[in-house]
Amino acid sequence: MLLIKNGFIISNNALVKKDILIKNDKILKIEDEINEEAEIIDAKGLLVMPGAVDVHVHFREPGFTYKENISSGSKAAAKGGFTDVMTMPNLNPCPNDLKTWQEEQRLIVENGVINIYPYMTISEDELGEKISDFDNLHNYCYAASDDGHGVNNLVLLEEACKLALKYNMVIASHAETKEGRQLPCGEYDAVRREIEIAKRVGCRYHFCHLSTKESFEAVRQAKKEGYRNITCEAAPHHLVLNSSMIKDANWKMNPPLRGEDDRLETVRALVDGTVDVVATDHAPHAVSEKSKPYSECPNGIIGIETSLPIIYTNFVKTGVISLDRFLDLMVYNPINVFSLPKHGMYVGSTASLTALDIKNLHTYLGREILSLSQNCPYIGEKYYGFPKFTICNGKIVYHN
Ligand code: DOR
């Protein structure tokens, strides 16, 4: 048994001191004081919360293990306080069908230290030409995405939506038109036309990493009209960085950093409930790739070790969002939007949790990074809320 002593949990929007007893993979007790024979973990002064859930990460295996692999990515996630992640399918081979999915799943079972739920592709190899094998993969995947590419074949997209509806899966859209590419209109034109498809078909439709005022406005409007099947995410970088801050390729991602107006609109959407989940788009790339000239180097930054501290420091500690909203954005909404296996801070729950040091500022250093890649704009920055330990399914998967 594991006994977590003297931590604070979030209860009705407030911090309350509790001890937590874990037996095997379940929470057995949560009480003011527990004294039992068990391995004790000191959580004095720490915020103990359910393990965070990131629905948008790139772990690069199979195919690009010089950037990241399932072992390194999942260890980085555990260090960042995440116990459950969904891995994007822009791999080699891409999980298009049973055979390719099995290849990824075998690596996950062998090497993952947390719960990993792989996306399947929407179209084979994300080429937008031939629909992927929903008929088989719906048994194993919660969602499909062609992340990295907008689906511009709208006939295929609508067919995928119908299959998603049939199988109760989520379509996760990297919304981008071919003509507009990374321009703001490239995103919001795609969002607008895809909302029409999602309304018509009625499937669960989730927009990845939205970054413009108009995109959030379109989702806000759809929600106002009652379309609860339409959801969206915001990434930490779009919430705290803008285009005027770009220094080098470690500030380059897709969608790109926008102007300050769009950043403020992203924050507004976070606050008013338009944003359902915070997701990192953790996208590792090797130094050799990111040191190419800016226009030639690949899009993406790592973010899974800094997501909780960034959101806690910028939005919770400052009172912009409540503790309960923090939990919804980082844990409960991701689980609900994608119908993932549940966990939470209650007796009987799967014991997946993390403990954040919310009292002390910590400077994030390159040498502590567990990801295989270092493409990160936050190195040298100070935040509250870095995890001290993470427990997944009753096992300690990170302890600092
Ligand atoms: O910045 C990004 N990186 N955006 C994407 O859509 C893809 C991702 C990647 O795979 O590197």
Task: Answer for the pair 376, 250: CB distance below 8 angstroms, yes or no.
Answer: yes
**Closest ligand 1 atom number to CA of residue 208:** 6
CATH code of residue 193: 3.20.20.140
Choosing from 288, 319, 338, the residue where a domain stops is 338
- Are residue 361 and residue 310 in the same domain, yes or no? no
- Are residue 280 and residue 293 in the same domain, yes or no? yes
For residue 52, which of 129, 96, 115, 131 has the smallest C-alpha distance? 115
Tens digit of pLDDT for each residue in 311-320?
999 999 999 9
Q: What tokens does 145 get? A: 């995405």
- Are residue 189 and residue 215 in the same domain, yes or no? yes
Choosing from 291, 309, 338, the residue where a domain stops is 338
pTM of the predicted model as reported, rounded to 2 decimal places:
0.98
Tell whether 137 is covered by a domain. Answer: yes
Segment 141-157 shows an average pLDDT of: 98
Segment 383-392 shows an average pLDDT of: 99
Domain with 271 in it: 52-338
- Are residue 143 and residue 233 in the same domain, yes or no? yes
DSSP class per residue in 319-344? TSS-HHHHHIIIIIHHHHHHTPPP--
Tell whether 42 is covered by a domain. Answer: yes
Tens digit of pLDDT for each residue in 235-254?
999 999 999 999 999 999 99
- Are residue 14 and residue 153 in the same domain, yes or no? no
Asked about 281 being catalytic, the answer comes back as yes
- Are residue 136 and residue 280 in the same domain, yes or no? yes
CATH code of residue 14: 2.30.40.10
Residue 20 is predicted with a pLDDT of 98
- Are residue 234 and residue 215 in the same domain, yes or no? yes
Tens digit of pLDDT for each residue in 323-359?
999 999 999 999 999 999 999 999 999 999 999 999 9
Pocket of ligand 1 (CB under 6 A): 58, 90, 147-148, 174, 253-254, 281, 283, 298-300
Segment 210-233 shows an average pLDDT of: 98
Beta strand segments in the chain, E: 2-11, 14-23, 26-31, 39-42, 47-50, 52-57, 82-87, 115-118, 143-145, 170-173, 204-207, 230-234, 277-278, 353-357, 362-363, 382-383, 386-392, 395-399
- Are residue 382 and residue 268 in the same domain, yes or no? no
Tell whether 343 is covered by a domain. Answer: no
Mutate to test the pocket of ligand 1, among 253, 301, 372, 373 (most ligand atoms within 8 A of CB): 253
